[in-house]
């Protein structure tokens, strides 16, 4: 991931910041588009059924994330960290898919969708994994190869999907 781009902490921080800015931009756009799409779909179809289907899809993505996921990032390649952040934010992975489905079922306005996308992007860019890979790339390289660390990260990620699924399902039936 980011640790492959730099080996010292200064370069790692710069890379992580540029990568994060690119990702925040991409996910903000996705949030706005998901909110608009959700408003269009909600006007055409019954709200509860859309929420049921979206909730089940997000839960299924959570199960996949827990047992089968690999890396959804292409940022291991060399290139501009800002561009790689944009690409990583645009490439649909499990987390981005769950986020888009969640936002599209909440009835948010365009501005709320953009702000939600920005918050999601900031959250994914400043999470512990990116902070460790940016601030201490050598530590990240050691942790990344450990099976236990990968299982913990998968478990936490799956829990987020299940929480999104529950929020979608409850919101659709209330």
Asked if 126 and 40 touch (Cβ cutoff 8 Å), the reply is no
102 contacts: CB under 8 Å, gap ≥ 6: 54, 58, 164, 167, 168
Residue 73 backbone class (left: φ over 0; alpha: ψ -120 to 50; beta: rest): beta
41 contacts: CB under 8 Å, gap ≥ 6: 50, 104
Asked if 99 and 49 touch (Cβ cutoff 8 Å), the reply is no
Predicted pLDDT at 111:
94
Asked if 22 and 125 touch (Cβ cutoff 8 Å), the reply is no
The pLDDT tens digits for 104-154 are 878 788 999 999 999 988 888 776 656 665 566 666 666 666 777 777 777
Q: Which range among 48-57, 69-78, 83-92, 116-125 shows the weakest confidence by mean pLDDT?
A: 69-78
Predicted pLDDT at 91:
76
Kindly report whether the global pTM for this prediction surpasses the value 0.95.
no
Q: What is the DSSP letter of 126?
A: S
Query: Highest mean pLDDT: which of 7-11, 55-59, 77-81?
Result: 55-59
Going along 15-166, which residue ranges are E strands? none
At 101, which helix (H) or strand (E)?
helix 94-104
For residues 87-100, average pLDDT: 79
Query: Highest mean pLDDT: which of 15-24, 29-38, 72-81, 96-105?
Result: 29-38
The residue that leads in pLDDT, 146 or 166, is 166
Q: Single out the residue of 3, 149, 11 nearest to residue 75, CA to CA.
A: 3
pLDDT greater than 70 at residue 21: yes
């Amino acid at each position: 991931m980011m640790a492959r781009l730099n080996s010292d902490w200064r370069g790692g921080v710069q890379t992580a910041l540029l990568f994060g800015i690119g990702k925040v931009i991409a996910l903000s756009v996705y949030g706005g588009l998901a909110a608009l799409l959700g408003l269009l779909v909600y006007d055409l179809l019954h709200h509860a059924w859309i929420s049921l289907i979206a909730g089940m899809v997000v839960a299924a993505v959570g199960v996949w994330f827990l047992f089968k996921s690999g890396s959804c990032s292409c940022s291991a390649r060399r290139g501009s960290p800002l561009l790689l952040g944009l690409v990583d934010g645009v490439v649909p992975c499990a987390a981005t898919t769950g986020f888009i489905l969640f936002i599209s079922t909440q009835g948010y306005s365009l501005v709320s969708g953009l702000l939600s996308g920005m918050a999601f992007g900031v959250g994914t860019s400043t999470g512990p994994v990116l902070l460790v890979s940016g601030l201490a790339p050598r530590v990240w390289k050691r942790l990344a190869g450990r099976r236990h660390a990968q299982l913990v990260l998968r478990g936490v990620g799956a829990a987020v999907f299940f929480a999104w699924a529950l929020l979608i399902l409850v919101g659709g039936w209330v």
